[in-house]
Structure 1
Amino acid sequence: MRAECRRGSWGSLGRMTTPTSPTAEPVQNLDWSSWKRVLVVVAHPDDPEYGLSAAVHEWTTAGVEVSYLLLTHGEAGIQGRDPAEVGPLRAEEQRRACHCVGVTDLVILDHPDSMLVYTLDLRRDIAREIRRRRPDVVVLTNFDVEAYGGLNQADHRVAGLATIDATRDAANPWAQRELLDEEGLEPWSTSKLLVAGVPNPTHYVGVSHESVEAGVASLCEHDEYLKALPDHPVPHEFIPGMLREGAGLVGDENLECAVTFRVFDV
């Protein structure tokens, strides 16, 4: 079914909200015309697929190289099924989702799902991938305690904080010294951090109908995971609705769908 930029069914699942609250700051068009590489860092398979992946498709279509770094395999995400089975299944679902939006570089680390802990080791693992890929920007998702209509999941909170600090570690030659001394990875400074799914965005990326469709398709690839969530809203209904809500914050009647971010200079 074709995904159109119209208001859709939101359902009751807390993760599915997009910014709808008024913001005191003007939401500006994000200028990404000079970007060559983007790194998206999230905790689990499917985390990029709630609106963000539509922007990813917009970028890859324009020739930007987008990499995904997942900190876990999401092996604890399907109740009643053995994590040893679920981890590879969800990794494969994420690979198919990446294909939908033009992402060819996917790295999944082996940190424990649902038990992600903020450590120097986690920061180092993220900083390593930043130095390897040398992205212009790093993208993460909302890591507030209250997010997505409820209390945010613990792994999301840890992933966000660790990514912020790892971005600084990646730029500092005196931090995580083994990355330089033992692995030969030179420091790398990204220009910006983008946080998706926040209630107080500062910037937006307008997305085409094709990118909306690609974003919907990327979420649909997480088929087994979604089957385990009987109350999950239908992707082709609520994803366009979220992106329409994002465009509504901009105040441009010619803009139909947008992914919103809070942007920080690094």
Structure 2
Amino acid sequence: MSLDTFPSDWSTALVLVAHPDDPEYGMSAGIARWTSEGKRVVYGLATSGEVGIEGMPAEVAGPAREAEQIASAAVVGVTEVEFWGFPDSQVRNSPELRAKITEVIERVSPDIVLCTYGGAEFAPGFPNQSDHIEFAAALLDAYDEMTSPPSQLYWNGPGGTHAVDVDGFVEAAVESLACHSKYLEVLDPTTPVIEQARNQVATFTKPIDGFDAAHATSFTLMRPKS
């Protein structure tokens, strides 16, 4: 199955995710390419990931993870990053979350919206996190309720419909993910942060069958439906 080339006829993309580091698992190489071409990319995060570092109090981890996300975004050319303050690990497809998503979309006025994968499993036996599933569902519902939504909405994950050639931007993605050092050091204390980052980015930027690129990242068009 061949994948379409991700469109280039846009100027502003809004990346909406649940946690710090979510953009770095799959999207950051593409984002680095787009910002190098002069495109504007804005990040909106539902939570600060404050319960995501084992052994670190939420009041310490939240600001630390926000700082890591801001630094990580800057590596790939993103300077507009906002955190909405919803509770980490308790994200729900609620009226409050949908209203916030709508407010941000209307304020930023992007041409396209991107989010992390919202399916139940990345692969058989590899379940998705509840926060990701609930957030993606809220985003799709909010999009469907808008009178004049952005022209397209994609999520990043398995089963892609479009791909981006990210050859030349893999190292930027590695550096970007490595900025989440406090999180990664606890996640895997035995593997150096840069090695963890390189391994993860390699997974999301390997060649894709049906798409002619040495390194590629895939996205699935969720709205509008064909």
Alignment TM-score, normalising by the size of structure 2: 0.92
C-alpha displacement of 1:29: 1.2
> Whole-Å Cα distance in 1 between the matches of residues 198 and 2 of structure 2?
29
Q: Deviations over 1:54-89 (max 9, x none)?
A: 001111111110000100000010111100000000
Could you tell me which of 159, 171, 183 is aligned with 1:225?
183
RMSD over aligned CA atoms reads 1.6
Could you tell me which of 237, 244, 265 is aligned with 2:199?
237
Q: Deviations over 1:145-198 (max 9, x none)?
A: 1126511111000110011112233x32xxxxxxxxxxxxxxx42111111012
Task: Please tell me the residue identity of whatever aligns with 2:7.
Answer: D
| Residue matched to 1:123 | 98
Could you tell me which of 49, 57, 63 is aligned with 2:32?
57
| Residue matched to 1:46 | 21
Q: Structure 1: which 5+ runs fail to align? A: 1-24, 173-187
> Whole-Å Cα distance in 2 between the matches of residues 90 and 160 of structure 1?
21
| Residue matched to 1:77 | 52
> Whole-Å Cα distance in 2 between the matches of residues 122 and 130 of structure 1?
12
> Whole-Å Cα distance in 1 between the matches of residues 200 and 59 of structure 2?
31
Identity, % of aligned pairs? 35
Could you tell me which of 49, 72, 87 is aligned with 1:112?
87
**SS of 1:107 mapped into structure 2:** strand
Between 1 and 2, higher relative CO (CA 8 Å, sep ≥ 6) is seen in 1
Instruction: Say whether 1:206 aligns with 2:136.
Output: no
Q: How many residues align?
A: 219
C-alpha displacement of 1:264: 3.2
Could you tell me which of 140, 160, 164 is aligned with 1:164?
140
Change (3 A) 1:241 1:160: closer
Could you tell me which of 12, 15, 30 is aligned with 2:6?
30
**SS of 1:144 mapped into structure 2:** coil
> Whole-Å Cα distance in 2 between the matches of residues 155 and 264 of structure 1?
18
C-alpha displacement of 1:251: 4.6
C-alpha displacement of 1:133: 0.6
C-alpha displacement of 1:241: 4.2
Q: 4+ runs of 1 displaced by more than 3 Å?
A: none
Q: Is the 8 A contact 2:163 2:211 kept in 1?
A: no
**SS of 1:40 mapped into structure 2:** strand
Q: Structure 2: which 5+ runs fail to align? A: none
Alignment TM-score, normalising by the size of structure 1: 0.78
> Whole-Å Cα distance in 2 between the matches of residues 241 and 81 of structure 1?
28
Larger Rg: 1
**SS of 1:95 mapped into structure 2:** helix
